[in-house]
Structure 1
Amino acid sequence: MAETAENLLGESGAYALELFGVGRRFGALTALADITLTVRAGERRAVLGSNGAGKTTLFNVITGDFPPSSGYIRFFGEDITRFSAFERIRRGLRRTYQISLLFGGLTVLDNIFLACRGVSRRRFSLLRPKRDDATMEQAERILKAVKLEDSRNAQVAALSHGQQRQLEVALALAGAPRFILFDEPAAGLSPAERRDLVSILTSLPSHIGYIIIEHDLDVALRVSERVTMMHNGRIFKEGTPEEIENDPQVQEIYLGGGHG
């Protein structure tokens, strides 16, 4: 079960993300109820659960898209509960979405460059970047990290679905993120593309922690150190990937009695 807030208050410096008693209501509907969750700096966490469990609402509350109805949130020890989404981005929080948010008419490299420029001090500059521009150099490094070097000049609209998902990961890496929320990055990918995704996620710099929401359990369990199970807007169970995979209750509720 999740640790209580009282037990964690003295250890905030060890955590990238802390939620204490977080709830979210939409009228009479309770989407999240009393979520207390902590993720250490550099930790890779999977959040799993059936449709309607509250996973995406949890992400929306963390990123500031929805304010919590109760509780509070800390990011690297700072209370961000009432911060705007942009203020959270400036502090190093990033997110991908289930639906692609890409510039289809631009090249892969241009998309990454614009993402890097958008979180830089020079984000309002209209000057064309020089060859040795630091932001362009960062875009080049990210391009290699997500294995899209061969598609650098391709228009995004012409990419395969899997390549577009890789590009979304690239955009989340823009501007020195400290923590990333991945929302179903393996959705619609082929087996080969899923292997590439696992390779990309496991190769991220060790200081970048993340939470991944994913219906593909094989992907989720391979790229995470700990797993949080959600059910009806609450945390149902937490443990290592091995503990969750072998848990009888998890198998019965989420895996249909077994998981090969």
Structure 2
Amino acid sequence: MTDALVQKGSSVQGGAGYALELRNISKKFGALEALSEVNIVVRPGERRAVLGSNGAGKTTLFNCITGDFLPTSGAIRFFGEDVTVFPAQERIRRGLRRTYQISLLFNGLTVLDNVYLACRGVSRGRFSFKRPSKSDALMQAAEELVATVHLTGALNTSVSDLSYGQQRQLEIAMALAGAPRFILFDEPAAGLSPTERAELVKILTGLPGHVGYIIIEHDMDVALRVSEMVTMMHNGRIFKEGKPAEIEDDPEVQALYLGGGHE
């Protein structure tokens, strides 16, 4: 296993072959340093988990990647392009998507309507007032995405009538709208039952191979089952990286998750 990738002043060699590159990313909020010189590189199609206790910097890291926050220092490249100062919508146009810890759904609309609107929102015709027909290409794409997340049986069900687990599945379908190249999943298993977690694992492992993602997750069992690489964070820094089996067996990781901390 690889110990901390970065120490002060270190860097990662970049290249157009990576889907995502974070080079010495730091983020300060006044005197608080939420991220400290974080370096991560992710290959196209790679599935990676970012783990850590509350306050480790995981959500801040996601916010910097998506453009919700601008890093205090460092650089972010997405498929070889420097997007460090790009607004969130420009990153979306380049194929980056994200889910959130809190559901962002249209509760008064059906499952299909929600996914259709997501597809419409990233399409060239998003400002059209034309009512879609059954043969509308975006409507067909929406139906396919609903099937991808195992919700075909609830296609015309109002979101307000879905179970919490089904709502999380719907969020994944919406994140897949517009053929994204990379997705950030923010704690998709939070609040799910064991049965719903098993369904989530099936959905994530069944996504098209070219779609890479990073998943933030407190449920280590879920995270290790859906990822091929794991990055452990603590106090805004990376202190471990490795394969799921290596991370699971690492005594420092176990101590952190069991409350022993990491010095």
AA at the equivalent of 2:94: R
Aligned to 1:120: 123
1:111 equivalent in structure 2:
114
Letter in 1 for 2:70: P
Aligned to 1:73: 76
Matched letter for residue 106 of structure 1: L
Letter in 1 for 2:92: I
Indicate which of 155, 159, 166 corresponds to 1:156: 159
Inter-CA distance 229–151: structure 2 relative to 1 (3 Å threshold): same
Task: Work out the CA distance in 1 between the residues paired with 2:165 and 2:58.
Answer: 23
Code of the residue aligned with 1:56 in structure 2: it is T
Per the normalisation by structure 1, the TM-score is 0.96
1:82/1:158 CA distance change after superposition, 3 Å: same
Query: SS of 1:137's equivalent?
Result: helix
Partners of 2:70 and 2:78 lie apart in 1 by 15
Give 5+ residue unaligned stretches, structure 1. none
* Shift in Å, 1:14: 1.8
User: Does residue 99 of the first structure (1) align with residue 102 of the second (2)?
Assistant: yes
Counterpart code for 1:23: S
User: How many angstroms apart in 2 are the aligned matches of 1:55 and 1:256?
Assistant: 18
CA RMSD across the alignment: 1.2
- Moved >4 Å (runs of 4+): 3-7
Q: Are 1:8 and 2:8 matched, yes or no?
A: no
Out of 21, 25, 28, the position equivalent to 2:24 is 21
Count the aligned residue pairs. Answer: 255
C-alpha distance in structure 1 between counterparts of 2:134 and 2:185, whole Å: 32
Post-superposition Cα deviations, 1:39-59, rounded to whole Å, max 9, x if no partner, equal 110000000000000000000
Unaligned runs of 5+ in 2: none
Partner-residue secondary structure (3-state), 1:15: coil
User: What is the CA distance between 1:2 and its match in structure 2?
Assistant: 2.1
Within 5 Å, which residues of 2 pair with 1:1-260? 1-2=4-5, 8-9=13-14, 12-255=15-258
Identity %: 69
